[in-house]
Amino acid sequence: MKKFLLIISFLYCLTSQVQAQTLPVGFHAYEEYWRNYQLLGQIDSTLSFIQRPISISAFPADMLPFLSEQKWSNKWLDIRLLPVSMRSSFNTNFPTSINDGAFRADGGLQKSLTGGVYLSKGNWSLQLMPELVFHENKNYDAFPEEHFDVIWERRYYYWNRIDQPERFGNQAELRMLLGQSALKYTFDNDISLGISTQNLWWGPAKRNALVMSNQAEGFLHFSAQTEKPILTKIGRFEGQFIAGQLGNSNQLPPDTARTNQGYQLYVPKRDQWRYVSGINLAYQPKWLEGLTLGYNKLTQLYADEIRGAADLIPFFNGSMSTGVAANTNRPRSQQMSSMYMRWLLQEAKAEFYLSYGTKGPSRSFREFIENPTLDRAFTGGVAKIYPVKNNSFVKVEMEASFLGQNTRGEIRSGDSWYVDNYIRQGFTHKGEVLGAGIGGGANAQFLGVTWFKGLDQVGLTIERRLHDNDFYYYAFEDSRDFRRFWVDLNIGLRGSKQLGQVLLSADILFTNAINYQWELYNDPAEYFVDGIDKQNLSFQVQATYFWK
């Protein structure tokens, strides 16, 4: 009888229809649209926005223009067209944008074109959404030759422990990527198993996710995840486990022949791909509506150092305490983790969130109490919506992120976020960090005011971004040169407009970079000289066509 029930259940899974299509990370106008209307009470409060891409099965049907109404069906397949999106970005003098997926920290023009089809039958689904990307790779002013040799040596101390090139070549490049594609098997719209190259985003932050964001392009990974929160007697649970492959940029830092006191500054990295595994878990207590509590962790190690099944699972592939003596038989790994919360207050039309992250092996509670600021980073934010006339609204939002370290030992040892002494590509994929777009050692404070009505919106943003403060103190503290903070003041306009089946969005950002690349005018006769400031205009435009 038990075997019979198992067979019936299996046949039901094969014949039932599921909807595993997702909204890819990076469709910012739609992500904001859904998050805004959740604050207004028009989307279920149990949707946490802490695990993206989000399955469209979690949304009301009248808020899903992303899903094509055209559907071709036969006995083998159901076929839908995915939207076609064209995106362009241009920087006049130096790169400033973050969270842009397949785009890179390049000068000049970048373009992308994406679209595809969604195929499904029973519990199987295939989202084919490749991306064609063009990079102009225009030259721009990078780390200055004028810095002293000792400063170059200290800069190389960071470059030798992270794969984060200033430039990705010096010629135009056209790349074809699998983009936001995924093959899935979904069990009753609740849990799915799949293989994907989609971008992932973990945690509640909107601009600087500590562990996983779309700052880098998507990487090939296996995923086991909930498609929407699962209801239990004590609340709702959701989560995702991933295992994937991280690649290298194959780009060199500048001036690799440079020396200081006869020593070669550049140290080549291992040419080996890295295995990454991670888990993201979230819980919504039954007794506190709108509250989400969560934890995530990512671990990477070189693929040729995987020695057993325990190395494949993020809870077992690293020492669980810094107080434990090193196990020389265990492959060395790099670990990042964060705890987070999001509280949605629909009656107040507001939300606030906080993420607290640590790097390295997990610490005991005693170690945390003794030094809670060790290897830490955090991001916090708040948003509030105010109704105005004609069913339109104004949203005020703020987010602050602090990845710079604040203990002398960490700074003097160069123990910054995303870098690593053993896995010297750091926490990167194809030359960009997996987490916060501002990068390790950086701090940022953001303020935005946006008017919106449906998908139509226009807003003003102001951001202060402090570049790699860990390197600044490491490089200049012993000389007592405290004039060189590299700070960007960013002022931007953003907007989107729906025109029938087309959604247009645009961002214009002006950047005044104070003490760009930590450089001052050299005047031996004076100490209080001006820094070398530079300005940049960044333009981003996206047009998306939704099929009917």
Count of positions (residues) in the chain: 548
Q: Between the CA of residue 245 and those of 136, 154, 175, 208, what are the distances in Å?
A: 27, 30, 19, 23
My answer on whether omega of the bond before 53 falls inside 30° of 0, hence cis, is yes
**pLDDT tens digit string along 357-370?**
998 776 666 766 76
pLDDT at 10: 35
In this structure, are strands 221-226 and 235-246 parallel, antiparallel, or unpaired?
antiparallel
Q: What's the token pair of residue 154?
A: 């200290």
Report, as ranges of residue numbers, the positions in the chain whose pLDDT lies below 70: 1-20, 57-70, 314-331, 362-365, 367-368, 370, 372, 409, 522-529
Number of domain units in the chain: 1
Give me the helix-helix angle, 149-159 and 469-476, nearest 10°. 140
Residue 258's CATH number: 2.40.160.130
pLDDT at 491: 98
SS3 516: helix
C-alpha to C-alpha distance for 292 and 52, rounded to whole angstroms: 15
**pLDDT tens digit string along 427-481?**
999 999 999 999 999 999 999 999 999 999 999 999 999 999 999 999 988 877 7
Q: What's the token pair of residue 542?
A: 């996206």
Could you count the other beta carbons within 10 Å of the beta carbon of residue 520? 16
Print the domain residue range for 252: 2-545
Nearest to 163 by CA among 417, 432, 413, 472: 432
Q: Which residue has the tokens 């053993």?
A: 422
Nearest to 110 by CA among 140, 84, 132, 128: 132
| SS3 sequence of 409-476 | HHHHCCCCCCCCCCCCCCCEECCEECCCCCCCCCEEEEEEEEEEECCEEEEEEEEEEECCHHHHHHHH
Q: Please, which residues have CB within 8 angstroms of residue 511's CB and are 6 or more apart in sequence?
A: 96, 488, 489, 490, 535, 536, 537, 538
C-alpha to C-alpha distance for 252 and 254, rounded to whole angstroms: 6
> What does the DSSP 8-state code read for residue 61?
G
SS3 content of the chain, % helix, strand, coil (to 5): 15, 40, 45
CA dihedral of residues 181, 502, 95, 424 (deg, nearest 10) = -10
pLDDT at 530: 75
